[in-house]
Chain A
Amino acid sequence: MSSETTTGATDPSQSTVERLHVAGLHAPGDAVLSVRDLNVRFNTENGVVHAVRGIDFDLLPGRTLGIVGESGSGKSVTSLAIMGLLAPTAEVTGSVRLKGRELLGLSDKAMCEYRGNELAMVFQDPLSSLTPVFTVGTQIIEALTIHNPTMSKKAKEARAVELLAMVGIPSPKDRLKAFPHEFSGGMRQRVMIAIAIANNPRVLIADEPTTALDVTIQAQVLEVLHKAQEETGAAVVMITHDLGVVAGMADDIMVMYAGKPVETGAVDHIYYNPRMPYTMGLLGAVPRVDVAEKSSLVPIEGMPPNLLQAPTGCSFAPRCPLASDACLDGEPALAPVADDGLHRAACIKSDSLGGTVDVHDVFAAPPVPVSRFDAIPRAERATVLQLTDVRKHFPLTRGALIKRRIGTVKAVDGLSFDIREGECFSIVGESGSGKTTTLLEIMEFHPDQDGEVVIGGLSNKQAADAKTKGKMRRELQMVFQDPTGALDPRFTVYEVLAEPLQNAGMDRAAIKKRIMELMKLVGLQPDHVNRFPNQFSGGQRQRIGIARALAVNPKLVVLDEPVSALDVSVQAGVINLLDQLRAELGLSYLLVAHDLSVVRHISNRVAVMYLGKIVEIGAVDRVFDNPRHPYTRALLSAIPVPDPHLERTRERIILQGDLPSPLQAPKGCNFATRCPVFAALPPAKQEKCLTLEPLLEAAAPSAAVQVLQQAPVPVPDQQFACFYPDGEIDEDMLVVHEPADHLAP
């Protein structure tokens, strides 16, 4: 694939002045945005932090550049520097040219002419990025007014409606008067996009635009961005930590590490032929949702360097398995890679990392751990947790003095499943599907729960006295999503780990011994026990959380989004640890996660939840490779895969709208309102979906299969609740990107 968008187009050996000069004269004339030697320094109390250290790129109209990196890599600072939105104390040097006009050094006032006009930006957190006290309409119209003072009020309103319609907000005219808080996160992000494209920008910068959103909503928003780019012809800078998100969208990729681009090039080169160990590590650290193969993930040990001191060698060297003494001698420049002049990597060994080198050859991934339970058939293993018809209904009341019950929110509605020894069972679904409520019902074991929760043979019905409760507690421990919030900031690690042990009545000497064991078990240095949680990195904190859960030797560990708050490279380490602990200690896991790739990687069985009900359940490979329920199909289709070819060509199901409020759930199938299969059904068949509730049933092998196979076919471990499995998908909800979009020169 050829690309006119060039990154790092100048010879790095030249001096900065020369490069700037050359950039001004010889940058491709039609580049809308060209950045040269961008440097950003912050004066902090600890010294000068050099957050961005020399970035060059040219962006051509209609093209997309993906900037990929972990937190602290300087990617967001870069975008804000281009927009001129950094605090005045930040020192920005280099050159940023928009259609040949220099932007750096312009006053705030002068920048206003470009911001929101030719240069627009979409921010990460849609919840806080809109002013809460103004209507959505006011905020869109404001963007129009600033740059088109002469535009009539009517014209502006018409344009605002048009924009809202373009980003896919239903009944846009009425929604103009709505306030941001009346919109869901996905809707707000659409509004943000509408504001950004209001004045047909030439360059649109999107800074992690979908990170805070559910996968299905992420797919919608990415689609909106794609459409916005088509409509406006804008060049897009897409900033993300998720290699999957940009695989399908970007033409070029820039991988950043420690404030510097470490590898740049066309998207295919980066994904299929990475030449920098860090890029290889990043790709290897991400589990794939579309691959069943169970190999361990590649963790990148250590932490990114702080940017207070100028690195004397390669900044990745301390974490790089290939590092040699030569790597420490001066920071390698971004140099062309042998195979293609546009592909550049900042690694002295890039030439030896050609196409055939596998990431597993470079990074030492631990061996795939094998649990002693893996050999025993599932049916013969003991049950550690059993849920039978568990429900959690909240009354919804209205009325000032006398409360009237106007409905019931069925957060969890008749859930049944069991977890056997040594297995990992996952629950997936969008936020609001009832995953977390399910966990709470399990963890709190109220005796007045309608259904039954049996933990290690003890039912919640018997858990009236403290003693039984204590026994059940010891069987079951939890790891929380946010490792910072889950640790009392005033406790040292020792105190954190001692708490469950003291509670179990252990004596001091035994506690101390056990804590040292635990620290080693989760891969932390035992002599760090006197530190406070804030002295650890996110991944280490999560390890502490895991150690605490394991302290009392539980049989089952409940994991609530255990890696979603972590950087990808750190995430891999924690996932590997969980895998290894399960095998070594014979643990069972109940995992709740929105990241289906992680689920696929570590679970044995999976349940897909929608509005409080399980819509599909079964062995993870079976469900992921052969999803029957339309919701499962949509969910899986929404996950971006870090494989550019696949991303560009595959068809994806884009669900319409958000998760409906449980109050509006229809009588029949909950999913009917958004179902892509339902939409394609003839009305006669739709009737069935609307009136009857489908039950969770195993798929009977089709007649054809039975005829072919003489012997009775074993029923696969998969159940789903749909009348029309594998049904045809409505065309409106099916999107295939024209390959020409990306392959055109």
Chain B
Amino acid sequence: MLKYLAKRGITYVVMIFLTTSAGYFLAVSSLKPALLEQERIPRPTPEQVANSMRLKGLDPDLSPWERYVDWLTGIITRWDWGRSPNGAYINAEFGDRVWISTRLFLASIILTLVIGVALGVYSAARQYKFQDRVITSYSYLAYIVPAPIAYFLVQLGAININESVGDRIFFVTGISTPGVAPGWPQFADLMAHYVVPTVAITLVGWGAYQIAQRQYLLDNVNADFVRTARAKGLSRNQAIARHALRVSFIPVAQSIAFTIPAIFAGGFFAEKIFAWPGVGSWSIDAISLQDVNAATATLAYGSVIFALGAILADFATTLVDPRVRVQ
């Protein structure tokens, strides 16, 4: 098992390296920070710009290949992901933002999974009944709404609640209010900021799990092994709960690989809309600021998340499916 994970791990490291390198070339050839500098007032001379860029390791006169080699050397020898055009160090910037993003998504991912799977089981048990139709229709609806618009609508809803109550119950933007006393007030403030984005992401995310879990469970309800369990003396519901449910988790566990990165991708939108200064909003800002190194770093981050998701899915699958354990 460990060997298998190690092998997968190595494959993913190679892939991350390749995607990141490709991303670097794309960024270096299409993002030109020097042009932005020139729009400053007072307008600097081209020499001044080139000089300042060179100092930050962003020399526009070097060929993409030379810059790539420099950049890669920096990462491999010093774990230095370079600097932004404004002089900030990527490593430092990154650290803060990763924490903010992770904080936002961890709760959402867990909630999405738990609610999605639970509703899937619930609606499968009530197939074609009223509850099933409502829940499943909702999931299909979630599928045809683009994530940012859904977030925006949730935000609108929260604002409306705030307005109708006449008090600020939910914060719809930002991660915290500056200057709140530490302790309980700070925690309450944090929660108030947390609720809306988490609810928004979860509301959009669980649909896919609900539909998948419902389908997989229904596929297994009439399986031969459920019949065997009933022949042993379990009632139909007991047999489904003890046997079919566990088996229906297998494909769901496998799909984690694609959902974690999807939620993180959705996170780009969420951060942008709820004004959380996480990796997502940073990357989009970085791109509009023509920041090659920051853009590449976030791209690498995205690939790592995917790889983590994939490994996690492998792990989850082996946990629920003994057939995978014996390789």
> Which stretch of A126-134, A437-445, A704-712 is in the interface?
A126-134
Q: Which residues of B contact A133 (CB under 8 A)?
A: 246-247, 250, 320-322
Contacts of A87 in B (CB 8 A): 222
Q: Is the CB of B225 within 8 A of A131?
A: yes
Contact present for A132 and B323 (CB under 8 Å): yes
A115 and B233 contact, CB distance less than 8 A: yes
Scoring B residues 225 to 264 as 1 if CB is less than 8 Å from chain A, else 0, what string do you get? 1011111111110000011001100100000000000000
Question: CB of B6 within 8 A of chain A?
Answer: yes
Contact across chains for B225 and A121 when beta carbons are under 8 A apart: no
Dominant SS at the B interface?
Answer: helix
CB distance from A9 to the nearest CB of B (A): 28
Judge whether B323 and A179 touch: CB under 8 Å: yes
In whole angstroms, what is the CA distance A128 to B224 when docked?
A: 6
Query: CA separation between A125 and B247, bound complex, in Å?
Result: 18
A142 to B229, CA, bound (A): 9
Residue among A87, A133, A143, A146 having the largest count of chain B Cβ atoms under 10 Å: A133
Interface pair A146/B225, CB less than 8 Å apart: no
A128 touches B223 (CB 8 A): yes
A195 touches which of B7, B232, B243, B321 (Cβ 8 Å): B232
Interfacial chain A residues near B326, Cβ < 8 Å: 181-182
Q: Is B41 an interface residue (CB 8 A)?
A: no
- Residues from chain A with Cβ under 8 Å of B79 in the complex: none
Residues of A within 8 A of B3 (CB): 400
Provide the bound-state CA to CA distance between A136 and B321, in Å: 14
* In contact, A129 and B321 (Cβ under 8 angstroms): no
CA distance A117 to B230 in the complex (A): 11
Confirm or deny: B10 has a beta carbon within 8 angstroms of a beta carbon on chain A.
yes
Decide: A143 and B224 in contact? CB cutoff 8 A: no
Q: Is B184 in the interface zone, CB < 8 Å from A?
A: no
Q: Which residues of A contact B233 (CB under 8 A)?
A: 112-117, 143, 146-147
Query: Which A-chain residue is minimally distant from B7 (CB atoms)?
Result: A400
Q: Which residues of the partner chain A approach B130 to less than 8 Å between Cβ atoms?
A: none
**Docked CA distance A146–B238 (Å):** 11
Among candidates B7, B227, B235, B242, residue contacting A123 with C-beta atoms closer than 8 Å: B227
Chain B residue nearest to A400 in the complex (CB): B7
Centre residue among B6, B231, B234 by max chain A CB count within 10 A: B231
* Chain B neighbourhood of A121, CB < 8 A: 231
The reply to whether B235 and A108 form a contact with Cβ atoms under 8 Å apart is yes
Could you say which residues of chain B place their CB within 8 Å of the CB of A113? 233
User: What is the total number of residues of chain B having a CB less than 8 Å from a CB of chain A?
Assistant: 29
How many A-B Cβ pairs are below 8 Å?
84
Asked if A192 is at the interface (CB within 8 A of a chain B CB), the reply is yes
Contact (Cβ within 8 A) A130 B225: yes
> Which residue of A is nearest B4, CB measured?
A400
- For the complex, what is the distance from the CA of A83 to the CA of B236, rounded to whole Å? 13
Question: Distance in Å from the Cβ of A87 to the closest Cβ of chain B?
Answer: 8
Question: Which residues of chain B are near A125, meaning CB under 8 Å?
Answer: 224
Known: A132-B247, A132-B323. A115 touches B231 (CB 8 A): yes
Given the complex of chains A and B, what is the CA–CA distance between A501 and B231 in angstroms? 52
Nearest CB of chain A from residue B39's CB, rounded to whole Å: 52
How far in angstroms is the closest Cβ of chain A from B194? 36
How many A residues have CB within 8 A of the partner chain?
35
Give bound CA distance, A134 to B232, whole Å.
15
The reply to whether B243 and A112 contact each other, CB–CB distance below 8 Å, is: no
Q: Which chain A residues lie closer than 8 Å to B234 at the CB level? A: 112, 116, 142, 146
Q: Which residues of B contact A120 (CB under 8 A)?
A: 231
Bits for A158-195, please: 1 = Cβ < 8 Å to B, else 0.
00000000000000000000010110000000001001
- Contact of A123 with B224 in the complex, beta carbons under 8 Å: yes
Check if B232 sits within 8 Å of A142, measured CB to CB. Answer: yes
Cα–Cα distance between A120 and B322 once the two chains are bound (Å): 27
Query: B232 near A129 (CB under 8 angstroms)?
Result: no
A115, A129, A181, A400: the one contacting B6 at CB < 8 Å is A400
B4 partner residues in chain A, CB cutoff 8 A: 400
- Which one of A85, A128, A132, A401 contacts B231 once the chains associate, using CB atoms below 8 Å? A85
A467 within 8 A of B: no
CB distance from A124 to the nearest CB of B (A): 9
- Check: A490 CB closer than 8 A to any chain B CB: no
Given the known inter-chain contacts A112-B234, A123-B224, A179-B323, please indicate yes or no for A131 contacting B229, CB distance below 8 A. Answer: yes
> Could you tell me if A128 and B323 are in contact, using CB atoms closer than 8 angstroms?
no
Q: Report the nearest B residue to A135, measured CB to CB.
A: B322
In the bound assembly, the distance between CA atoms of A112 and B231 in angstroms comes to 8
**Cβ of B10: which chain A residues have Cβ within 8 Å of it?**
401
Contact: B321 with A132, CB < 8 Å?
yes
Instruction: Check B247–A192 contact: CB distance below 8 A.
Output: no
Determine whether the beta carbon of B228 is less than 8 Å from that of A131: yes
Q: A128-B224, A401-B10 are in contact. Are A116 and B232 (CB under 8 A)?
A: yes
**CB–CB B228/A192 < 8 A:** yes
Is A109 on the interface with B (CB-CB < 8 A)?
A: yes
Specify which of B10, B229, B233, B236 lies most central, judged by the most chain A CB atoms within 10 Å of its CB: B233
Residues of B within 8 Å of A117, CB to CB, are 233
In the complex, A131→B240 CA distance in Å?
A: 11
Q: Are B232 and A181 in contact (CB under 8 A)?
A: no
Nearest-neighbour CB distance to chain A for B170, whole angstroms, equals 42
Nearest-neighbour CB distance to chain A for B226, whole angstroms, equals 8
| Residues B201-231 near A (CB distance < 8 A) | 222-225, 227-231
Contact check, B227 vs A132: say whether CB atoms are below 8 A apart: no
A593 to B227, CA, bound (A): 32
Q: Is the CB of B247 within 8 A of A131?
A: yes
Bound Cα distance A655, B233 (Å): 34
With A and B bound together, what is the CA distance between A179 and B247 in angstroms? 14
Residue of A nearest to B231 (CB): A121
Q: How far is the CB of A676 from chain B (nearest CB, A)?
A: 32
Given A131-B247, A133-B247, verify A181-B323 contact (CB < 8 Å): yes
* B171 → chain A closest CB, angstroms: 44
Interface residues of B in 1-50 (CB under 8 A from A): 3-4, 6-7, 10
Residues in B with CB closer than 8 Å to A146 are 232-234
Instruction: Collect the chain A residues with CB atoms within 8 Å of residue B230's CB.
Output: 85, 115
Scoring A residues 59 to 77 as 1 if CB is less than 8 Å from chain B, else 0, what string do you get? 0000000000000000000
CA distance A325 to B64 in the complex (A): 94
Contact B247 A112 (CB under 8 A): no
Closest-CB distance, A84 to chain B (whole angstroms): 9
Q: Indicate if the CB atoms of B323 and A85 lie closer than 8 Å.
A: no
User: Are B322's CB and A129's CB within 8 A?
Assistant: no
A401 to chain B, nearest CB (A): 6
Distance of A175 from chain B, by nearest CB (Å)? 14
B227 — which chain A residues lie within 8 A by C-beta?
85, 123, 129
Contacts of A143 in B (CB 8 A): 232-233
Q: How far is the CB of B58 from the nearest CB of chain A, in Å? A: 38
Considering the chains assembled together, what is the distance between the CA atoms of A181 and B228 in angstroms? 16
Cβ-defined contact, A129 with B235, below 8 A: no
CB distance from B163 to the nearest CB of A (A): 51
- Least CB distance from A421 to B in Å reads 47
Give complex CA distance A112, B236 in Å: 9
Q: Give A181's nearest chain B residue, CB to CB.
A: B323
Q: In whole angstroms, how far apart are the Cα atoms of A3 and B271 in the complex?
A: 82
A400 vs B3: C-alpha distance when bound (angstroms): 7
Return the CB mask of A224-255 against B: 1 if under 8 Å, else 0: 00000000000000000000000000000000
Q: Which residues of B contact A116 (CB under 8 A)?
A: 231-234
Complex CA distance for A330 and B104, rounded to whole angstroms: 76
Q: Which residues of B contact A192 (CB under 8 A)?
A: 228
A503 to B303 Cα, complex, angstroms: 49
Given A123-B228, A131-B246, 7 more A-B residue pairs with CB atoms under 8 Å apart are A115-B231, A115-B233, A121-B231, A123-B227, A129-B227, A134-B243, A179-B322
Provide 26 A-B residue pairs closer than 8 Å at the C-beta atoms, listed in order of the A residue: A83-B231, A85-B227, A85-B230, A87-B222, A112-B234, A115-B232, A116-B231, A123-B228, A125-B224, A129-B228, A130-B228, A131-B246, A132-B321, A133-B246, A133-B247, A133-B320, A133-B321, A134-B246, A143-B232, A147-B233, A179-B323, A192-B228, A195-B232, A196-B231, A400-B7, A401-B10
Q: Which B residues lie at the A interface, using CB under 8 A? A: 3-4, 6-7, 10, 222-225, 227-236, 242-243, 246-247, 250, 320-323, 326
Closest 4 CB pairs of A and B: A116-B233, A116-B232, A128-B224, A400-B7
